[in-house]
Chain A
Amino acid sequence: MSFAKRSLAKVITGFAGARVISQHGETDPELPDQAIFYANHCSHLDFLTIWAALPDELQKRTRPIAAKDYWGSGVRKRIAERIFNAYLVDRHGSNSTRQRESRSGVSPKGQIQGMAEVLDAGDSLIIFPEGTRGDGESIAAFRGGLYRLAQHSPQIPVVPVTLANVGRILPKGELIPVPHLSTVVFCDPIHIESGEEQQDFLARARQILIDCLIEHQTTFQDNSAAQNPAGPDTPESRQ
């Protein structure tokens, strides 16, 4: 199985043309034994690509967070859970992000609890703090889960992962992936500073991804200022 998984990882990184580097350009980024990985999100390929980019030991003990409403049934569920060891979270089956936004104060509590247990068990997490796939041209405002997890396990480094050009391979709403050369950048770990507010931490975490994307994806422009309030309103287009 391990060999099969390694081959699968090679196929995924090969197809995504993925170059894995550190923030400083080294081709063999140094990663902690346990981490909360968070990344920008605009494609179903995102968690597969990060999973494939992880070194063997870390990959075995890393659980990508995937949405139950997409990955939660049938073949997809088996793929997500058996192969990628995904941790499925319930987004309460809501159809629009606005609805979710309004409930976000209440609903994610149980999910955060579950994710915290994953961390307590010694495993790493891959999360997408935007909560939903974006258009790839900007990064939406982060939701609070990242902060709460970092607060729950302050000893675990929070590692920003920038996915450049992955979203262009399979953008939201498309069925056929088109090859591009993507880059997976593992940035330097961050921690919540003493007394740092949720808002400040999330803004800082998000800015790291924005700066890194500007450097590694030629088509990315930071139109976050205009995008922030209006962005999450677009209804999710799912097949």
Chain B
Amino acid sequence: MSGWEVGLLDDTALRLLGGVVLVLILASLTAAVLAKLLGPTSTITNLRQRINAWWLMVAVIGAALAAGETVTIILFLLLSLLALREFITISPTTRGDHKVLVWLVFIIPAVHYWFIWEHWYGMFSVFIPVYAFLFLPARNALAGQTKGFLQRAASIQWALMVCVYAISHAPALLQLPVAMEVGREAAEGSSSGSGGAAGAHLLLFLLIVVQGSDVLQYIWGKTLGKHPIAPKVSPNKTWEGFIGGVLSATALGAALWWLTPFTPLAAAALALVSCVMGFAGGLVMSAIKRDRGIKDFGSTIPGHGGIMDRLDSLCFAAPVFFHAVRFFYT
């Protein structure tokens, strides 16, 4: 092993992040040239905001991984809470739901992420879909407000599944290498950080493929997009963007096979599945936004919108990627 190792980042991961930085430099330069050529149109301003936000997001993820698994898990807990705040703001909750919302925000996510930190797969995988799912509506029924009960209970459950449960599968990737090495049973309760650099590689692979797919779909859509896939849900999602984006992101995933325990073909297949799931996530969140009459979930990330606008694809891709890898490789 060569000397470069910071937290969960070994020299391979650092070289990869160096590559990401190069891409960002290229993107910033391209945007600057476009701005010179086309003037400050709203699309260009938005593009530059997006690229600047990418710099920040890459820096934050890189710093978290360099600080180790605990910090990375805390980062994703915070992201979950910010996403949850956006989601409950647009949910049809009323005053009667307040006590349930206190559980939803202050207690359940922390407990759930603690199970991840413990590498306690059994509890991490059932806590929200079983225990929280049954507890929250019961607590809400005790509060006594019946009007719109199913809608309110369902929205709260959805918020939890999407913003906390689904997103948390991304940092849960960090512990998968332990199960690959010593088997699933022995991996239960292994110490935090024991997934090592291989865990960080899995997480980076997923993040780069899924977020790359978003970016590539945006680029293909902006340049060639003509035929909308679901015009009533999102006029910006076109067949050209979808096919071009997913295929090129799949190629990107295949090209990153050396980062993972996968063969190039398996890496392509997993990337393809993740990109299609990511697309589905974006589509579903668009439908929710459309229904609630909003354009974005928030304005936390300049150019992108809210946290949920950025993480919508990861929400759907992370759990499927996690379970596919766990099924085939452990």
Binding site for B on A (CB under 8 A): 17, 19, 135-137, 165, 168, 171-174, 176, 178-181, 218-219
B293 touches A218 (CB 8 A): yes
Chain B interface residue number, banded: 20 to 34
Interface 1/0 per residue, B214-236 and A, CB below 8 Å: 00000000000000000000000
B92 touches A178 (CB 8 A): no
B86 touches A181 (CB 8 A): yes
B85 touches A17 (CB 8 A): yes
B85 touches A137 (CB 8 A): no
Cβ-closest chain B residue relative to A183: B89
Residues of B contacting A17 in the complex (Cβ-Cβ under 8 angstroms) = 85, 89, 298
B90 touches A168 (CB 8 A): no
Residues of A contacting B298 in the complex (Cβ-Cβ under 8 angstroms) = 17, 181
> How far does the Cβ of B113 sit from chain A's closest Cβ, in whole Å?
17
B86 touches A219 (CB 8 A): no
Residues of A contacting B299 in the complex (Cβ-Cβ under 8 angstroms) = 19
Residues of A contacting B88 in the complex (Cβ-Cβ under 8 angstroms) = 178, 180
7 nearest CB pairs, A to B: A171-B95, A181-B89, A178-B101, A179-B85, A180-B89, A174-B98, A218-B292
From residue 77 to 119 of chain B, which have CB atoms closer than 8 A to chain A?
A: 81, 85-86, 88-95, 98-99, 101-102, 104-106
Residues of B contacting A165 in the complex (Cβ-Cβ under 8 angstroms) = 89
A176 touches B92 (CB 8 A): no
A179 touches B105 (CB 8 A): yes
> Residue B85 contacts which of A173, A176, A180 (CB distance < 8 angstroms)?
A180
A19 and B297 CA atoms in complex are apart in Å by: 13
Residues of A contacting B67 in the complex (Cβ-Cβ under 8 angstroms) = none
> How far does the Cβ of A14 sit from chain B's closest Cβ, in whole Å?
11
Also in contact, A178 and B102, with CB within 8 A (given A172-B95, A218-B292, A218-B294): yes
> How far does the Cβ of A60 sit from chain B's closest Cβ, in whole Å?
28
Also in contact, A168 and B93, with CB within 8 A (given A19-B299, A178-B98, A180-B85): yes
A171 touches B98 (CB 8 A): yes
A165 and B86 CA atoms in complex are apart in Å by: 11
Also in contact, A176 and B95, with CB within 8 A (given A181-B85, A181-B86, A218-B292): no
Binding site for A on B (CB under 8 A): 81, 85-86, 88-95, 98-99, 101-102, 104-106, 292-294, 298-299, 306
A219 and B293 CA atoms in complex are apart in Å by: 11
A173 and B299 CA atoms in complex are apart in Å by: 30
A165 and B102 CA atoms in complex are apart in Å by: 16
A19 and B299 CA atoms in complex are apart in Å by: 9
Query: With A135-B95, A178-B106 given, can you name 16 additional A-B contacts, CB distance below 8 Å?
Result: A17-B85, A165-B89, A171-B95, A172-B95, A174-B99, A176-B102, A176-B106, A178-B104, A179-B105, A180-B85, A180-B89, A181-B306, A218-B89, A218-B90, A218-B292, A218-B293
A219 touches B105 (CB 8 A): no
> How far does the Cβ of A228 sit from chain B's closest Cβ, in whole Å?
19
A167 and B252 CA atoms in complex are apart in Å by: 47
> How far does the Cβ of A233 sit from chain B's closest Cβ, in whole Å?
17
Cβ-closest chain B residue relative to A182: B89
Cβ-closest chain B residue relative to A170: B98
Also in contact, A137 and B98, with CB within 8 A (given A165-B89, A180-B85, A181-B85): no
A115 and B185 CA atoms in complex are apart in Å by: 71
Cβ-closest chain A residue relative to B102: A176
A178 and B99 CA atoms in complex are apart in Å by: 9
A136 touches B95 (CB 8 A): yes
Also in contact, A219 and B92, with CB within 8 A (given A178-B102, A178-B105, A181-B86): yes
Residues of B contacting A219 in the complex (Cβ-Cβ under 8 angstroms) = 91-94
Residues of B contacting A168 in the complex (Cβ-Cβ under 8 angstroms) = 89, 93, 95
Residues of A contacting B306 in the complex (Cβ-Cβ under 8 angstroms) = 181
Residue of B86, B101, B292, B299 most packed against chain A (CB within 10 A):
B101
